Amino acid sequence: MESVRVLCCAAVLALGAANAAAQILIGQSADMSGPVAASVKETIAGSQLVIDHVNAQGGIHGEKIEVIRLDDGLDPKRSAENSRILIEEKKVLALLLNRGTPNALAVIPLLDKSGTPLIAPSTGAMSLHKPVQKHVFNVRSTYQREAERAVAHFYTVGMQRIAVVQADDSFGKDVMEGAMKGFDKAGQKPVALALADRSKPDYSAIVPKIAAANAQAVLWIGSGTAVSEGIKALRATGSAAQVITLSNNAASGFIKDLGNASGGVIVTQVLPSERAMAHPLIKEASDLAKTRGDIELSPALLEGFVATKVLVEALRRTGPKPTRARLLTTLNELRYDAGGGLEINYSPQDHTGIDYVDLSIISGGRFKR
């Protein structure tokens, strides 16, 4: 027992030393052990590329950046408690890349109470865009725009019998609004709509509903393993229906989870392809990744990379010894090109991020456009 106490004390002292050395503290609550952990780890890798590069150059106005990351398992209650700890106890300057729609919504009261900015929540929820949340600064496009584009794609390529699997939570409802815009524009309706539990979908009920509708295509709204396991169950029935899922699943880990079931799966994207080396943003990320040697670019990594570039630029413009209030003022006036024309234009009336949506088919274990 004594050895356990010594180890625990050593860990606490090490954490304290790290925090003391970090002059700019940033917080993040995200799923590092649950259904979207693979994607989150890639996003963190992209974020850390930027932070390590900035710190190696002396930091921001001589102050280095340290990110305190807490695991919430994609549980909104844990997200709220983690964020409370980060804001009230750790005294972080801002939150960065918190993951999940219900999770981000659960944190807003804490942001408003403390005046803490949340930069680049890793979600495209419309509820974080309209009405404007004064402490939330989005970087990526909305899920509704992705879903509308996905449905339009199906009709463009001649598919008429389209089913939808919708996560039965605030994320799923938000995405469905965008999907219905696509159906309405085509003068159509889904041939089947199956609701799925956020973390434990009942595939024995979902998959037969899709099969009975003889669906040619499926828009699958969900996260991580809840989607990959569902697609595997669908393929096990012999269905060759094309599947589109959203950018929250745009990660190498998602492809690995799918394995042999990845054929005919498309994932929407909110940033340029990681293989578009002529694009200034992709070249920048690739050059930094090469210095590490063991990092492969992915859409999830790029989301973390761009989000942290926005944070760093805002910190630079805020000046030495930043406060939450001063950083908030800077963000509300930020005009910034993150690379190759991917522009951020914030104002107190508009915290919308980069307006970019594309489609990427999974082929040969990679995303291809």
Give 73-109 pLDDT, tens digit per residue: 999 999 999 999 999 999 999 999 999 989 999 999 9
How is residue 239 written in tokens?
């269905």
**Phi (first) and psi of residue 163, to 5 degrees:** -105, 160
pLDDT of 133 reads 97
**Run means of pLDDT, 10 residues per run, the chain, 369 residues:** 38 41 87 92 97 97 97 96 98 97 95 98 94 97 95 96 96 95 97 93 96 96 94 95 94 91 92 92 95 88 97 98 98 97 96 92 77
Q: How far is CA 241 from CA 88, 154, 157, 160, 365, in A?
A: 49, 11, 13, 12, 19
Q: Tell which residue, 193, 145, 205, has the closest CA to residue 166.
A: 193
Upstream peptide bond of 272 is cis (omega within 30 degrees of 0): no
Instruction: Identify the burial level of 274 via C-beta atoms within 10 angstroms of its C-beta, where 0-12 means exposed, 13-18 middle and 19 or more buried.
Output: buried
How is residue 257 written in tokens?
């989870």
What are 5-23's pLDDT values in tens digits?
A: 333 444 343 444 444 345 8
| For helices 280-292 and 299-318, angle between their N-to-C axes, nearest 10 degrees | 100
**65 forms bridges with which residues in the sheet?**
24
Rounded Cα–Cα distance for residues 367 and 273 (Å): 8
Instruction: Identify the burial level of 21 via C-beta atoms within 10 angstroms of its C-beta, where 0-12 means exposed, 13-18 middle and 19 or more buried.
Output: exposed
Alpha-carbon dihedral angle through residues 18, 19, 22, 24, given to the nearest 10 degrees: 150
**Phi (first) and psi of residue 116, to 5 degrees:** -95, 125
pLDDT of 12 reads 40
Q: Tell which residue, 38, 30, 31, has the closest CA to residue 250.
A: 38
pLDDT of 198 reads 85
pLDDT of 366 reads 77
Cα 133 to the chain's mean position, in Å?
A: 18
Q: Which amino acid is at 164?
A: V
Which residue reads 């469905």 in tokens? 176
**350 forms bridges with which residues in the sheet?**
347
What are the residues whose beta carbons fall under 8 Å from the beta carbon of 109, sequence distance 6 or more? Answer: none
Rounded Cα–Cα distance for residues 180 and 241 (Å): 20
Q: Tell which residue, 56, 97, 101, has the closest CA to residue 309.
A: 97
Rounded Cα–Cα distance for residues 278 and 124 (Å): 27
Rounded Cα–Cα distance for residues 103 and 84 (Å): 13
**Whole-prediction pTM:** 0.85
**Phi (first) and psi of residue 299, to 5 degrees:** -55, -40
Which residue reads 């997200």 in tokens? 79
**Phi (first) and psi of residue 193, to 5 degrees:** -130, 115
